[in-house]
Amino acid sequence: MRVLVVNPVGHDRWDYSDKKIYESYASEGTEVDVVSLPRGPESVETAEAYAEVEPLIIELVKGIHAGYDAVIVNCFLDPGVAKLRKILNNKVVVGPCEASLSLARNLSDKVAVVTVGGDVETLGLS
């Protein structure tokens, strides 16, 4: 299995460490590639940054997804995840927010999310 992890930022500072983290959890024989956007913000913490990276993520993934079985958008706001699922209807596409909340829902009736800022309300994710 091959998994593509997309860091939705305009730098590659986290690619190596993220690759090591994902590989430490991957099943034997799973290949993980981590890529960042060719341009974009330092991080995705605002509605503006979300709006900026979503089309960039979709463009990048559409161009390189062919050799992969799954795609992970490595951002807790899950930018582009829903749209990529529609575009790549035969591939698994996940983001950490939806995956974490799905797991949390099975573990407890109460869930809290600690964020870096208050702008998620404007994204309709609160």
Output the pTM of the full model: 0.88
What is the four-CA torsion angle of 64, 59, 27, 22, rounded to 10 degrees?
120
Q: What kind of fold does domain 2-123 have according to CATH?
A: Rossmann fold (3.40.50)
Residue by residue, pLDDT tens for the chain (126 residues) are 999 999 999 999 999 999 999 999 999 999 999 999 999 999 998 889 999 999 999 999 999 999 999 999 999 999 999 999 999 988 999 999 999 999 998 999 888 877 766 555 555 554
For residue 95, give Cα distances in angstroms to 72, 73, 101: 6, 5, 10
Three-state SS at 70: strand
Domains of the chain by residue range: 2-123
Three-state SS at 3: strand
